[in-house]
Structure 1
Amino acid sequence: MLNTKPNWPILTVMVGISLTACKILPTKSDDGNNAATFNPDKMVEEIWAAKVVPYLQQKAGPFAQVHTLATTDPAAAGAKYGNPNKQANSPWTFAVRLEGKIIAANTQSRAATVDVDVDGDGKADARVQIGPAVRGTALRDSLDFIQFNDFTNQIDFAQFGKAFNAYADKMVLSKLPREALEGRSAKVLGAYTLGSGQDLPLVTPAEAEIGPKP
C-alpha cells in the first residue's frame, strides 16, 4: 500500500534571512576583471536549492484546493498561493503540491507530459510536464523575489525563465522513468499559470516523484 503522506525534503532556512530578499544580480565574468556578464543558467543554479525550492515548499497549496479557488476568485488565490508582485497585465501563477495517479502519458514528444487524476474519479485533473522540453515560465513567474525590473530588458528576463526550465529538467525531470507510466503514482511540487490555453492546468515541477509500476 502506497504511503500517501507527503515526504517532501525539509530544508533548514537560517533565521533572519527572508526568501523575499533576493536581488537578481549579473554574474561576474571569469577573466578576472569586474565586468559583469549575464549568465541565466548560473544564476538559477545559485538560487535553486537555497531559495527557489524552499519558497515553493512554503507557498504551495494542495492542487485541488488552489485550482478551485483560482477558478472562482483568482485574486484571492493569487494572494495566498501566487506572486503578488507579478506584472499587472500578467496572469496569475500558483505554487501547488499535486499527488495522484497517472492515467495518461505522452512521451513521444520532447515536450512530454503525464495526466494525473488527483481526486480518484478516474479523470485527469492536471497535466504535468516531464521534459526534456518544458513550456512556459511558470517556475520563474511563481517567485515573488523575481522582478522584471531587476533585468536589463525583456530578452534577459525571457532567458532567465527558460533557464529555470532547463535546470528543472537537468536536476529533476531527466531522472524520471519514461516507460509504462499509466497507473503509477505521481507526486509533484511546482507551479502552473492560470488560463495557459491548455485543456488541463499545465504544471511545471521543481520536485517530482513517480512511483513504481502497480
Structure 2
Amino acid sequence: MSTSPPAARRRVPAGWVATAAIVALLVAMAVSTKYRSVEAAAAAAPKGFDPAAFGAENYDAKVVPAIKGNAVELPALLKAVEEDKEAAGQKYGKRAGTGPYNFAVKGTGTAGKPTSGLLPVDVPGLPDGAKVYLQIGPAINGTALRDSVGFITFGQFVNQVDFADAATALNDQMRQKLLNGLDIAALDGKKISFTGAFTLLTPATVTITPVAVS
C-alpha cells in the first residue's frame, strides 16, 4: 500500500498579517471613539472671562453690601489718615501688595455744580484744604470698587487684562444701576448723603466712586 506525503501547509504572506493587524486596530479605534458635534465641542471648551457676567453677578450681590457694611465716616477717616496714614490704612483699608490703600466711606454734605465728570461735595469736618468729589461719569475711572472690598484678588484671574476688566465691569454696573437714574444737575446746592469707595492717592483730594447717593 502506498502512502502519499502530507499536503504542504500554505504560508500566509507577512504583509497580509501586518495589514490585517492595522485594519483591526483602526476598527477598534473607530468603535471606541466618541464623535461630538461642533456645538458640543464648543460647549465643552474652557470658557474665557466674561466681564459683563462678572459685573452682573458681583456688583449688587457682593460689592455694594460689602462697601455699605464697611463704610467709615469720611471726616473721621481723613483725620485718622492725617495722624498716621499707614495705621489708618491697616485699620480701615484694603490693598493689594504695596499698592495704595482703598477705603469704603460714607458722608453727608452739600453738592456743588458738576463739572468734567465730577460732583464736588462740601463735607463738614474735613481736615483743612481737603476736597471731595463723586465720580458721576460718563467715564468712571479707577479700581476702587474692586479693590476696596478685599475679596476680589489678582489670583482669581488668568491675567492682568481680565483683572482690569473686572474693575471696569463693576464701574459699568454702578453707572447703569445708580448714575443712569440720578438727576445730577438737580443736586446742585442740595444736601446729599453718599456711600462709596476711593483709592488714597492724596488726602487733599478724595475722588469717590459712589454706590449710593440720596
TM above 0.5, one fold? yes
**d(CA) in 2 for partners of 1:74, 1:165:** 26
**d(CA) in 1 for partners of 2:125, 2:83:** 22
What SS does the corresponding residue of 2:79 show, helix, strand or coil?
A: helix
2:142 alignment partner in structure 1: 136
Compare the two structures and name the one with the higher strand fraction. Answer: 1
What SS does the corresponding residue of 2:114 show, helix, strand or coil?
A: strand
Deviation of the 1:148 alpha carbon: 1.0
Larger RCO (alpha carbons 8 Å, 6+ apart): 2
Task: Give 1 or 2 for the bigger CA radius of gyration.
Answer: 2
Alignment pair present for 1:145 and 2:154: no
Deviation of the 1:204 alpha carbon: 0.3
What SS does the corresponding residue of 2:173 show, helix, strand or coil?
A: helix
Compare the two structures and name the one with the higher helix fraction. Answer: 2
2:100 alignment partner in structure 1: 91
Deviation of the 1:32 alpha carbon: 3.8
Alpha-carbon contact 2:101-2:199 (below 8 Å) kept: yes
What SS does the corresponding residue of 1:104 show, helix, strand or coil?
A: coil
Alignment pair present for 1:50 and 2:55: no
Structure 1's consecutive aligned runs of 4 or more residues displaced over 6 angstroms after TM superposition are: none
Equivalent of residue 103 in structure 1, options 109, 112, 135 = 112
Deviation of the 1:177 alpha carbon: 0.8
**d(CA) in 2 for partners of 1:163, 1:205:** 15
Aligned amino acid, residue 80 of structure 1: K
**d(CA) in 2 for partners of 1:128, 1:60:** 15
Alignment pair present for 1:173 and 2:182: no
Alignment pair present for 1:113 and 2:118: yes
What SS does the corresponding residue of 1:105 show, helix, strand or coil?
A: coil
1:40 alignment partner in structure 2: 51
**d(CA) in 1 for partners of 2:147, 2:73:** 19
Identical columns (%): 36
Cα deviations across residues 109-155 of structure 1 (Å, max 9, x unaligned)? 4xx1111011079x873111111211111111101101111111111
Q: CA RMSD in A?
A: 2.2
